[in-house]
Amino acid sequence: MRRVLLSLWLLTTTGLPVARAQSALTDSTHALREVTVKTDRLRSFSAAHKIQVFDTLLRVYRTDNLGDLLTQQTPVFVKSYGPGGLATTSLRGSGASHTAVLWNGFNLQSVTLGQLDFALVPLASTDEIAVQYGGSGALWGSGAVGGAVHLNGGVPAGEGWGAFTRQTAGSFGTYAGAYGGSWRGNKAAVSARVYNQYARNDFPFRNTAQFGAPEMRQPNAGLRQYGATSDLRLSLSERGQLDVHYWFGSNDRHIPPSMTTGSSVATQADDFHRVAAQWKRTGNALTLAVRSAFFAERLAYRDHAIHSRSRTRSSVTEAEASLSLGNVLSANAGLHHTYEWADVESYGNPAVRNRTAAFASLKARDARERFTGLLSIRQERAGPAWVPPIPSLGGTVQPFKFLKLRLNATRNYRLPTFNDLYWQPGGNRDLQPEQGWSQDAGLTFKHTFGTLRAEVDVTAYSSRLRNWIVWLPQGNHWSATNLQFVWSRGVEVTAKVAQPVGLLTLTGTGFYAYGRSTNEKERFPGDPALHKQLPYVPRHQAAVTLGAGRGPWTLLYNHRYTGSRYPTSDETGPLPAYQVGTLTLARSFTFRTLSFDLQGRVSNLWNAAYQAIAWQAMPGRAFQVTLFTQFQPSTTR
């Protein structure tokens, strides 16, 4: 059953043939189960969370970005301004700054904005992605309110050396590539890759903001992107190990106008260097780890007379110990320090903040692992102020082999960003951290009915967040204040089936998500936003993927529905719901030590006209062809 479910998961999310899927994912987990990745706290102390993992299947999406992947494969709503434009997330009704993004365990959320642009995270830069749904502030700290996205680099599993190339060409002047190599010996392993992308993004659209809805081409939307990553692992001794990760990226993009403004000459350049290292010593019962990271980022924005520049620096250091007492009890404890620095013209002077935290977790389970209990706590000091203790309590129960239940309750928080505190005018140095509680309850049912394999997961959640920071008019400018109290609640249902029919393997997977996210406190007397849905949070989302595989051939069709959203806080002027279909055909070839995967994709198959963000044009039907070539002369251990 496990092999079939793994095949189903890969088939319905990648487009690779079933036979290749079975061999590629025999050591991986799939959605709706606890995921095995390199971040120990995620692997060991998140069993009560719903987690969706992407690892080897990223080969198919290697020339896409993280926002594209989440849009196609998860119930996360991605607020996209179009190809090459800004892409942020609303995870379980939360805001863009409430999704933590961790690269090899280190948070990438901007110290100035508190969020990450998912359009600037190419999938070519990472080897594993895991989406953790629900609050997890006790494990990951500030910002992990709606959930967390984990990005991890890796080294090759097989001995010897290998190489790959990936080339993509598509509509609207899109060209992308990724090239990499790897080597592994007895004491060392290394992998490196470079990636690049160019796109004009000059797609045609009808401008419904103008009289007669004339057809136009998207102006000033070009994108140039390139970068490199490398991962190194050294075996220092029989039990000691050193891992080093490096990521450089450069993004130069033009910012297109909205339908209502007509023209734009705005550009934005983003460059960054990220380096991380971890020393780890594994004992029979005790494991020690020390890790550190340094991030340097630069942003330059130009628009007519506006020339805005900002620079940020941050460093993170952690030390932790993990103790395993047989098969029934394990514990983790550690210390964390973050230094943040930003030089932004609108601050007046560079801003600096030091954050120190202590964290601990305890996991208990019975010998048969029918029951698991989890307890975590975090205490943080940000500058001169203490954040209230952040506890988390959860567990799983498996009364039958085919049924698993999970419960989780946690306190969450988010610190004000530097823009919230220091922007002139409007910054407020007296802001309090956002704080609240969230709860999850879920069940997973898996069973085999003859040759039919089925899996269903149902999750209900509720999250209340006080002191939500909002910017409101104050005189002739806007100012940040702790005024909003938001209640997010909803249900997510995921289902999967697989059925062999002769030489074919037929598969189906889908989800439905219902979410309400409302403001439960008046920001001012007569506030029209009271009890109304937050902007750009759809109440209904659904998707289904149907697949058929035979030998080296795979055919997939994905159809996604996104419900109406309100661009304003008082539920006026809703954006219509939209549906987008994607068709993928893939064929694999093997010649001696070379393997090839050729894939064709038609996005927005039905040429739907829609807007994810008000008055931001989205492309119609688009075509893409990708060729992946891999050379692996040696066998895997």
* Parallel/antiparallel/unpaired status of strands 578-591 and 594-603: antiparallel
pLDDT over 50 (residue 134): yes
The yes-or-no verdict on residue 635 having pLDDT over 70 is no
Sorted by sequence, the CB contacts under 8 Å of residue 453 that are 6+ apart come out as 1, 4, 5, 8, 496, 497, 498, 499
Q: How far apart are CA 520 and CA 529, in angstroms?
A: 9
User: Between 14 and 152, where is the model more confident?
Assistant: 152
User: Above 60 in pLDDT, residue 494?
Assistant: yes
SS3 5: helix
The pLDDT of residue 218? 95
Residue 111 has phi, psi (to 5 degrees) of -75, -20
Predicted confidence at residue 306, as pLDDT, reads 86
Where do we find the tokens 């004992």? 283
Q: Is the pLDDT of residue 637 over 80?
A: no
Whether residue 13 has pLDDT greater than 50: no
Question: How confident is the model at residue 339, as a pLDDT?
Answer: 98
What residues are paired with 581 via a beta bridge? 559
Interatomic CA distance for residues 135 and 409, integer angstroms? 8
Region 433-462 average pLDDT: 96
pLDDT at 39: 52
pLDDT of residue 37: 42
Query: Is the full-model pTM beyond 0.75?
Result: yes
* Rounded to 5°, angle at Cα 298 from 297 and 299: 130
Q: How far apart are CA 433 and CA 387, in angstroms?
A: 8
C-alpha 454/C-alpha 498 separation (Å) is 7
Q: Check the CA dihedral 343-119-231-320 and report its sign.
A: positive
What average pLDDT does this structure show over 374-384?
95
**Residue 56 pLDDT level (bands cut at 50, 70, 90):** low
**Mean pLDDT to the nearest integer, 16-28:** 33
- The angle formed by the CA atoms of residues 234, 237 and 242, to the nearest 5 degrees, is 30
**Would you state the pLDDT for residue 235?**
93
Q: Which residues partner with 378 through β-bridges? A: 359, 390
Q: Identify the CA nearest to 130 among candidates 57, 225, 21, 217.
A: 57
Question: Which domains does the chain carry?
Answer: 2-631 (2.40.170.20)
Q: Identify the pLDDT of residue 204.
A: 97
pLDDT of residue 36: 38
Distance of alpha carbon 14 from its chain centroid, rounded? 17
Average pLDDT of the residues of the chain = 89
pLDDT surpasses 70 at 461: yes
Check pLDDT > 50 for residue 24.
no
Dihedral sign, Cα of residue 362, residue 368, residue 369, residue 370: negative
pLDDT band at residue 20 using 50, 70 and 90 as cut-offs: very low
Q: How confident is the model at residue 425 (pLDDT cuts 50, 70, 90)?
A: very high
For 106, the token pair is: 């280190």
Question: What does the angle CA 109 – CA 110 – CA 115 come to, to the nearest 5 degrees?
Answer: 60
Structure tokens at 381: 């000091």
Q: Which of 184-188, 339-343, 359-363 has the lowest mean pLDDT?
A: 184-188
* pLDDT tier for residue 31 given thresholds of 50, 70 and 90: very low
Residues 6+ apart with CB under 8 A from 206: 213, 214, 215, 216, 609
The answer to whether residues 545 and 558 touch, using CB atoms and an 8 Å cutoff, is: yes
pLDDT tens per residue, range 228-278: 999 999 999 989 999 999 999 999 999 999 999 878 999 999 999 999 999
Which distant-in-sequence residues (6+ apart) come within 8 Å of 636 by Cβ? Answer: 157, 158, 159
Band the pLDDT of 84: cuts 50, 70, 90: confident
pLDDT of residue 21: 35
Mean pLDDT on 11-19: 34
pLDDT confidence of residue 355: 97
pLDDT per residue as tens digits for the range 302-331:
998 888 999 999 999 999 999 998 889 999
Residue type, 182: S
The pLDDT value given to residue 476: 86
Residue from 596, 589, 590, 602 nearest 556 by CA: 602
